[in-house]
Structure 1
Amino acid sequence: MRFIRKLLLFGWLEAISCIFPVIIFSTLGLTKFIEIPGIARYDLILIICLLAQIGMVLFKLETLDELKVICMFHVIGLGLEIFKVHMGSWAYPEEGWSKVFGVPLYSGFMYASVASYICQAWRRFDLHITGWPKTIFTVMLSTAIYLNFFTHHYIGDYRWILIGLLLIVFFRTWVNFTLSGTTLRMPMTLAFFLIGFFIWIAENISTFLGAWRYPNQEHIWRVVHLGKISSWFLLVVITMIIVAQLKHVKAGKSKEKEVEITINHIKH
């Protein structure tokens, strides 16, 4: 019975942490069947995403610091989308005023929603990471992963080498999370894979709803290739590294502030 309660609590916290992605996917589904005269589907999705983002902050479901991280990933994702569409990796065939270089602006929110989930899960599960690698390794690795999304069109795809390096760098890294007073943990690399796998499932739902299309989905929908899990795996790595580094920096500043307050208290 205790296990069931914890499982239900885990599911509830995960569902709350996924509220932004759920809004996006619900919007993709509704706008496939419901039209508003005078507003293109891509533009309507963007409007709903913006309203949802504002609502998340106003109702304190996201903090301003988390919003900054989410905006960063919106820019990172949009830049990647523009390049990939230009290279013919996938396409957004519908019309819309909010398309830039063939990419609707709402697409950045799909990347931002991953950052939103990680930020909220971090807070709700009280995540603590042990054995975190040195900053120089995480920065170099995340930079190489992001660049590989671009350079593999010209000089080859080195994702499996990067995944190998990733396994070495994060070999001793564990993520600890609290559930109903009990602390549990799992290898950091397993967390990367699990999140990437569920994003792949969400990607299948998104392409089925017409959010975008891969070349082999032009005439009939097909399941997204399993190889895409590795792409999402690597994208999750970038997201987690940036969020974790910012969390560590903020935690360091908080400790410095506590020390400063203690010193001032002693002086007075």
Structure 2
Amino acid sequence: MLEFWAFGIKQARACLFGGFLLGIMVLTQYWYPFSALHRYDFLLLAALAFQAVLLLFKLESPREAMVILVFHLVATLMELFKTMDGINAWAYPGEAVFKLGNVPLFAGFMYSAVGSYIARVWRLFDFRFSHYPRRRWTVLLALLAYLNFFAHHYLVDLRWGILAAVGVLFWRVDVYFKVQDKHRRMPLLVGWLLVALFIWFAENIATFTKVWLYPNQLGGWQMVSLGKLGAWYLLMMLSFVLVSLIHRPQGPDLLRRPMLSWLVPSGR
């Protein structure tokens, strides 16, 4: 039970940036006193200020901040495409001064929160991996998933084929994570699913607070379809691969005894 408590504390530390963004979304939906400043612009300034605080107090490393910047750029490009006239995959109903096309600049930070979480959890839990595939294949699969986010509007949607390829490439991969003094393990594919499910819950909160809306939510809020889990799962894979370019995946060479089951201490 103590180890489970420590696991929760470390997860909370890894979620600092994402938790802050989600909290500020809820707060500004029900209480926003700044009539001279658009809500999206306030969210952007709040995200930048929180980033500065994390760096100042060394709660986030410069390398993790670099991950956030990369995610912001990659995500903003996709947002510009998804919200342009004729695509309208989702929309931002409010006004903003700091925006590109139909996208407030704050939007990229929502994806950056995912990258920040992965980078931080990787460090806090001292991730190690067994049977991690070659980098060239992971990068190729991540690139294919990213391109499909654009291409499926015009060509055949390859989402399920890419998900199958992810399963084939990563099915042998276990992630070893240290909570206190022992490494435990679980299949990486299962870990991605759990995080994707958490992001889906967060997405429901964000759309409920009208930060963005899907077409079927314009007439009144509805829960986000569970079908979005596939997209979030691919985003998890893409995010993980991007972070792996900075945090090199290391093998479980420090674990010398055989591991017999997942979610148990290594060596037992």
Query: Common fold, TM-score beyond 0.5?
Result: yes
Q: Note the 1:35-114 alignment, pairs <5 A.
A: 35-86=33-84, 87-114=87-114
- Counterpart of 1:219 in structure 2 is 219
The alignment status of 1:163 with 2:163, answered yes or no, reads yes
Q: CA deviation at 1:8?
A: 0.8
1:237 matches 2:234: no
Q: Distance in 2 between matches of 1:61 and 1:79?
A: 28
Distance apart, 1:123 and its partner CA: 1.1
Q: Distance in 2 between matches of 1:199 and 1:237?
A: 13
Give me the whole-angstrom Cα distance separating, in 2, the residues matched to 1:232 and 1:145: 11
Q: Structure 1 pair 10/249, CA: closer, same or farther in 2 (3 Å)?
A: closer
The 1-side partners of 2:94 and 2:67 are apart by 29
Is 2:14 aligned against 1:10?
A: no
Question: Residue 202 of structure 1 aligns with which residue?
Answer: 202
Q: Given residue 64 of structure 1, which amino acid in structure 2 is its aligned partner?
A: P
Q: CA deviation at 1:249?
A: 8.3
Q: Post-superposition shift, 1:24?
A: 0.4
Alpha-carbon deviations, 1:206-244, whole Å to 9, x = none?
000111000000011000000101101000101101112
How many residue pairs align between the two structures?
A: 248
Identify unmatched segments of 5+ residues in structure 2: 252-268
Q: Match of 1:36, as an amino acid? A: F
Say which is worse superposed, 30-39 or 46-55, in terms of deviation: 30-39
Q: Which moved more, 1:109-118 or 1:127-136?
A: 127-136
Asked which structure has the greater CA Rg, the reply is 1
Q: Larger % of helix: which?
A: 1
Sort the Cα spacing of 1:246 and 1:60 in 2 relative to 1 into closer, same or farther, 3 A.
Answer: same
Return the offset for 1:191: 1.2
> What are the superposed Cα offsets for residues 24-59 of structure 1, whole Å, 9 maximum, x if unpaired?
011111111223120010110001001011111111
Task: Please give the alpha-carbon distance, in whole angstroms, between the structure 2 residues aligned to 1:189 and 1:103.
Answer: 32
CA distance in 1, matches of 2:77, 2:119: 22
| TM-score scaled by length of structure 2 | 0.90
Report the 3-state secondary structure (helix = DSSP H, G, I; strand = E; otherwise coil) of the residue aligned with 2:211.
coil
Counterpart in the other structure of 1:30: 27
| Aligned alpha-carbon RMSD (Å) | 1.4
Confirm or deny: 8 A CA contact 1:35 1:41 kept in the other structure: no
Partner of 1:185, secondary structure, is strand
Structure 2: distance between partners of 1:96 and 1:66: 27
**What do the CA deviations read for 1:64-108 (whole angstroms, capped 9, x no partner)?**
111111100011111111111111000001111012101010010
1:129-140 to structure 2, matched below 5 A, reads: 129-140=129-140
TM-score normalised by structure 1 residue count: 0.90
Q: CA offset at residue 204 of structure 1?
A: 0.2
Q: Distance in 1 between matches of 2:179 and 2:247?
A: 20
SS at match of 1:225: coil
Aligned residues of 2:132 and 2:249 also touching (Cα < 8 A): no
Displacement of 1:250 in angstroms is 11
